[in-house]
Each structure stands twice: as C-alpha cells, then as structure tokens.
A and B are shown apart, each in its own frame.
Chain A
Amino acid sequence: MMDLGTVKERAGPREFSPADDLPREYREAATRMIEFHANSEIMGAYLERPFIRQSPSIDRKLAFSAKVQDEIGHGQLLYRAAESLGVKTREEMLDDLANGDGKFLNCFHYPLESWVEVPMISFFVDGAAMRRQATLRRTSWEPYAHAMDKVCFEEGFHVKHGEDILKELMTGSRKEQQMTQEAFEEWWPRIIQFFGPTDDKSTHHDFASSVGLKQQSNDDLRNAFLDQYIPKARKYGLEIPDEPRIRERDDGTYAVEEDDLDWDEFFTIAKNEYEPGLGQINGRKHAQEAVDWVRETIERDTPAASGHEPQAAD
C-alpha cells in the first residue's frame, strides 16, 4: 500500500485512480468530500423541483426541468466516483442521506418558496458551485476529476439560465425588482457561507489540500466568487446588503467580516439539525419511498445480471 508520505509527494492533478492502493486516510477524506458533493446535487435538485411546475412560462419550464434532470445526473456520477474509493457503497450513501446522516451544502437546507428566490440558487449558488467545481477538475482522485469534466460542461447552461431569470426579474415591474432584492438580502449571507468557514477554522482543509483532493482554499474561492459576482449583482441593479461587511482590498479582492455571519446557524445546519433542512431531508426520503415500487419492479423484471456470463469472460 502507498504510504501517506508518497501520496503527498505525488499528489498532482488526476494522479490517483482505482488502480492505486491508497491509504485509508486518503480514501476516507476523498469519500467524505465526494459524498458531500453528490448529496448536495441531489438535495439541490429536490429543492428546485417544485419550480418546474411553478415556472412562469413554457421556456422556463423546459429549461428548468432539463436543469433539474442534469443535477440528478451529477449526483449519480459523483456517487460512482465516491464508491470507487471502496469506503462506502452507493446504497450506504443514499441510505445515510435518507436517514439524516448524510451531509450536504448549507444553502440546500433552506426552503425555497417563491420564484424570485430561484435565481439565488440557480445563478448565485450555482455560480459559486461552478467556481469550486472548475478547480476540482484538477483534483488528485481521477474519477472525481472526470466527473467534474462532465459537470462543468453542463453547468454553464445552468448558471446562464439562472442569470437570465435574474435579468428578467430585475427588468420587470417595480414590485418584482423589490421582491428580488428582498430575496437577495435573505440569501446573500448564506451564499457567502457556501464556501464554508475561513481557512483557519476549516477542519478538513489542510489534509485535503496536502493530498491534492482540494485545489483551492475556502478563502481563495470565496474571494474569486465575490470578485466575479458582486459586479454581476450590481449590474442587474441589486444592492449588496450592508451586512456582512465586505471590504475591498487595494488589489481588488474582497475580505468578508466573518463575525457578521451567523456561524451558529451554519454549524447547526452542518450537523443536520436545522429544522427546515430536516424537512428537506425527510421530503426526499418520502419521495423515495413513494416510488420504491418502481425500483422493485425494475429489479424484479431484470434478468439475472443482464445475461452476463462470467465463465466466458474469464
């Protein structure tokens, strides 16, 4: 088995594959990271799903249903990438997500109630996610990097469609603009928290970074996001809320006053103890149970191992 020293020494982009015998610490850290990512894709899709029905036009409905379908696909890709580490099976990860042990992104623990909130997820949160995912194309676990290739390919449409919804709302009636601004104010701190706590408070960063799993620190990612998306928000006429205070440095990057953010709520969410988040978890669980019969029927009707004959292969 490869020792941790060698892993750290070799840890370049796409360096390790299932052909490598990697130490438990690496495989567990990678599993935690990818499982979190996979769960987030699924929970994000469930959060947005009601808006397929609530879309204000046929164009939006088509695009939004394509998007939700994409996100479920991303979840499937990522469970495969996580499963290939040999720590947890896909079933174990899905069960954990259903029973409340599976962790996922803070933003997807909040209810999404109105169409004006939709671009908060599908433009800002997806934009933040895409920033992070672009860096993960250079992660050291090859199956994860390969999943990111496909995810990033598709995600450009999501972000631009989300931006288009924002544009439409912010060029709409005064009432629409006002409601969008209110939604923005509510979601803005959560969006900033997407990138997690500052580097010095991040529990897993150092190890994940030393073995090449994570490519950029929380602070760098947050800065890069703000740098890109503050001008975008302003361009559409959104006012950046006074809190959290954001200071523009001389070099054009931003520093967030971390104490202005609600970290109690963030860590309550991180433990899956936030009430609305539990509603999301259970909502998905019930949806899964409701269609159990479909999965069972498919499995029952599939001929054993799809006609696979091992003796012919070996």
Chain B
Amino acid sequence: MIWEVFRQAKTGEYHTHCGNVHAPDREMAKQFAAIQHGRRKPTNSLWVVPREEIGEIGSDEVAFGGTTDKSYRWATAYNTTGTDAREVVESEDEQVTAEKQRGDD
C-alpha cells in the first residue's frame, strides 16, 4: 500500500508533502520514509499517512474563494492614513503575496 509522506525541516515548521512510499504497514512506512525523505534534506519529523485516508477536493469541483469580486476581503482594498502598525503591514504584505500567487494560476 502507498503512504504519503510529509516532512518537517525544523521544529515548529509545517509538515509539507514531499512524496510517498510503498510499505506493507505503518512501521515499515516510517522506516522507508526516513530513508527516502529524511536522509538528505534537513528533517526534524516525518508523518506517514495511508493514501486512501486522504480526501481531496479540486478546483474542477469547487470554485475556491468564490466567483464574484471579493476584493473587499483584502487589506489592500482600504486606504488609511498615517503609519500602520507593523503587524498590520506584515499581514497586508502576506496578502499581497498570496494574491499574486493566485494570479499565477
């Protein structure tokens, strides 16, 4: 059976999908994942998940984020005066980056 592997590079970071392994059970899956995905790249922790336990929903089934103009949900839609708090600026920058990535699709 196939196990999807998620790798966390450092403590506190996110486990992100990095590939999958063939293994007959969870223990073996962990061993194979350690060898195949934790050997070169910096690794603090790995998760293994049986593929059939994963549910997927794709952009052909649902319009992620809706189909109407939702620009009102972005910080950039509002012009305010004066210096914004740095955490507000940071949030706005993250939103700008995310919006750009959406545009790339």
Kindly state whether residue A121 has any CB partner on chain B within 8 Å: no
Q: Does B87 contact A131, Cβ atoms closer than 8 Å?
A: yes
Which residues of A15-48 have CB atoms within 8 Å of chain B's CB atoms? 15, 17, 19
What are 19 of the A-B contact pairs (CB < 8 Å)? A13-B12, A63-B72, A127-B85, A130-B85, A142-B11, A153-B94, A153-B98, A156-B94, A156-B95, A157-B78, A159-B85, A160-B77, A160-B78, A160-B84, A163-B80, A164-B80, A167-B81, A312-B52, A313-B53
Q: Does B88 contact A160, Cβ atoms closer than 8 Å?
A: yes
Residue numbers of A with Cβ under 8 A of B are 13-15, 17, 19, 59, 62-63, 66, 127, 130-131, 133-134, 142, 145-146, 152-157, 159-161, 163-164, 167, 228-229, 231-232, 235-236, 306, 308-309, 312-314
- Measured between beta carbons, the chain B residues less than 8 angstroms from A153 are 91, 94-95, 98
- Measured between beta carbons, the chain B residues less than 8 angstroms from A17 are 11-12, 45
- Say yes or no: A312-B72 contact (C-beta < 8 A), given A157-B95, A161-B78: no
Chain A proximity of B28: nearest CB distance (Å): 12
Chain A proximity of B59: nearest CB distance (Å): 20
Residue numbers of B with Cβ under 8 A of A are 1, 11-14, 25-26, 45, 50, 52-53, 55, 70, 72-75, 77-92, 94-95, 98
A154–B72 Cα distance when bound, in Å, is 12
**A-B Cβ contacts below 8 A, count:** 102
Q: In the complex, which residue of chain B has the Cβ closest to the Cβ of A60?
A: B72
- Measured between beta carbons, the chain B residues less than 8 angstroms from A235 are 81-82
- Say yes or no: A156-B91 contact (C-beta < 8 A), given A15-B11, A62-B72, A63-B72: yes
Chain B proximity of A223: nearest CB distance (Å): 13
- Measured between beta carbons, the chain A residues less than 8 angstroms from B75 are 156-157, 159-160
9 residue pairs, one from A and one from B, having the closest CB atoms: A14-B12, A156-B91, A134-B87, A156-B75, A160-B78, A63-B72, A164-B78, A228-B85, A163-B80
- Measured between beta carbons, the chain B residues less than 8 angstroms from A59 are 72
Q: Does B11 contact A314, Cβ atoms closer than 8 Å?
A: no
- Measured between beta carbons, the chain A residues less than 8 angstroms from B74 are 157
Chain B proximity of A65: nearest CB distance (Å): 10
Q: In the complex, which residue of chain A has the Cβ closest to the Cβ of B45?
A: A19
